[in-house]
Chains A and B, each alone.
Chain A
């Protein structure tokens, strides 16, 4: 199937996020794809918007099956979550479990005023009552397909779509 160019999707995402930024907004990227996106979004949105990164390894629901992820990175939330409007950013939305973990982690930092979920691609297949409010591209993939956002050495994004046998 033909996936659109993520660089173009990024432009779309950027416009839509910029339109909802208010005074008390912070953008938080979920490591690692969401963090990359935040990095690229900041210049267009305005570098002085509060921002941070979440690594949800400690909040995943598959810890007992898969153990601690081998590459955990520290979360970095350098602002007060209390009463903020959080724009939570991730690259690919699938089952919704990562978002559930991210929200649990965010709430351990404080009580946000609201959370808006913005993703580059919503690939369908959610398993929880969670859905993005903003998505630059919607599609339906099967369980055997694995969609990833990757980054070239020069920083430009591209998609990888693999079929698992």
Chain B
């Protein structure tokens, strides 16, 4: 089966998931992102790469943060940006997805940034767009959030350049997390030797170790000597679905406090894709503390998205 993300020359045509992308392409994106970081420091924060191109944000699932960073990234590339917030509840779904795509194509959209509540939505859209259009997956159900995975490893690379020597722990609701899946694929593809997931059994997918991770249920064991702690957001629905008894107990057993952080290496960094639930998965002291790189993650997010869009537009 041909990888739908790559064109016949093996170049990136869509960014749908990190899984299946060769290491070379991941590095290409990360290296390009380095260059885009500098652009944000200038007074004129734009480069003309996507001038004349139209980027369309198709958000079937709401998200102000992600949508905004993609908008900023596109505008800094001098692209024209259209944003469509399509709520899934009102329409009859699927037909509307493809009809919407057709309409936008007729309006000369060159690139779609898509977020949807269902896994596989970005793949479906990529299958149906006209050949000159690129699709960027901004999050599909539980499946993937590739730009988040990329900006997370970019962040790690910035603070811990020796990636082949790292221990990374991902803590929280891996079962429902597209961010976790993308992070795992990015880390394993780039050769990080030890990737750990730390969560109760109810929040881990079946056969998760087959993704190349070590499983821990005890956070005190799992955090020992790690270089990077990646926290995941916990959603309220987990209590309602009988997966967890309460956020208090969750905080006690899996929340990152300053005390638990001491189990990791003294220079370990703490990450979170945001938005944070302070006091549920992470203590404020840690989130705002010296080891936290949560704020830089956001800046890096714009540079990474600029890199992705540029590479796609040029291929």
Contact = CB atoms under 8 A, between A and B. Distances in A.
On whether A and B touch (CB less than 8 Å), the answer reads: yes
B221 interface: no
A64 B49 CA distance: 9
Interface in A64-106: 64, 66-68, 70-77, 104-105
Interface string B13-46: 0000000000000001001101101110011101
Contacts, number: 52
Nearest to B38: A74
B47 A59 contact: yes
A158 interface: no
B296 interface: no
Contact of A57 (B35, B313, B315): B35
B150 to A, nearest CB: 15
Contacts of A109: 42-44
12 contacts: A58-B49, A58-B310, A67-B314, A67-B315, A68-B32, A68-B310, A68-B314, A74-B35, A104-B48, A108-B43, A108-B44, A108-B46
Given A68-B310, A72-B31, A108 B38 contact: no
Contact of B28 (A70, A104, A105): A70
Contacts of A58: 35, 39, 47-49, 310
B11 A67 contact: yes
A73 B28 CA distance: 11
B86 interface: no
B125 interface: no
Interface in A17-61: 55, 57-59
Given A67-B311, A109-B44, A74 B34 contact: yes
A103 B34 CA distance: 21
Interface residues of B, number: 21
Given A108-B47, A109-B44, A71 B31 contact: yes
Interface of B: 11, 28, 31-32, 34-35, 37-39, 42-44, 46-49, 310-311, 313-315
A63 interface: yes
List 9 tightest A-B contacts by C-beta distance, closest first.
A67-B314, A58-B47, A108-B44, A68-B314, A72-B35, A74-B38, A74-B35, A68-B310, A68-B311
> Would you call the interface of chain B mostly helix, strand, loop, or mixed?
helix
Contacts of B48: 58-59, 104
A104 B78 CA distance: 14
A125 interface: no
* Residue from A55, A64, A66, A76 with most neighbouring chain B CB atoms (10 Å): A64
Contact of B42 (A55, A104, A108): A108
Nearest to A68: B314
Nearest to B39: A58
A103 to B, nearest CB: 13
A68 B31 CA distance: 12
A70 B9 CA distance: 14
A4 interface: no
Nearest to A61: B48
Contact of A66 (B34, B37, B311, B314): B314
Nearest to A67: B314
A91 B29 CA distance: 28
Contacts of B32: 68, 72
Contacts of B42: 77, 108-109
A124 B19 CA distance: 48
A79 to B, nearest CB: 12
A68 B44 contact: no
Nearest to A75: B38
A109 B39 CA distance: 9
B35 to A, nearest CB: 4
Given A58-B47, A68-B311, A74-B34, 5 more contacts: A58-B49, A66-B314, A71-B31, A108-B44, A110-B43
A149 B157 CA distance: 32
Contacts of A59: 47-48
A71 B43 CA distance: 24
A54 B314 CA distance: 20
A63 B310 CA distance: 9
Contacts of A110: 43
Given A63-B49, A66-B314, A108-B47, A55 B28 contact: no
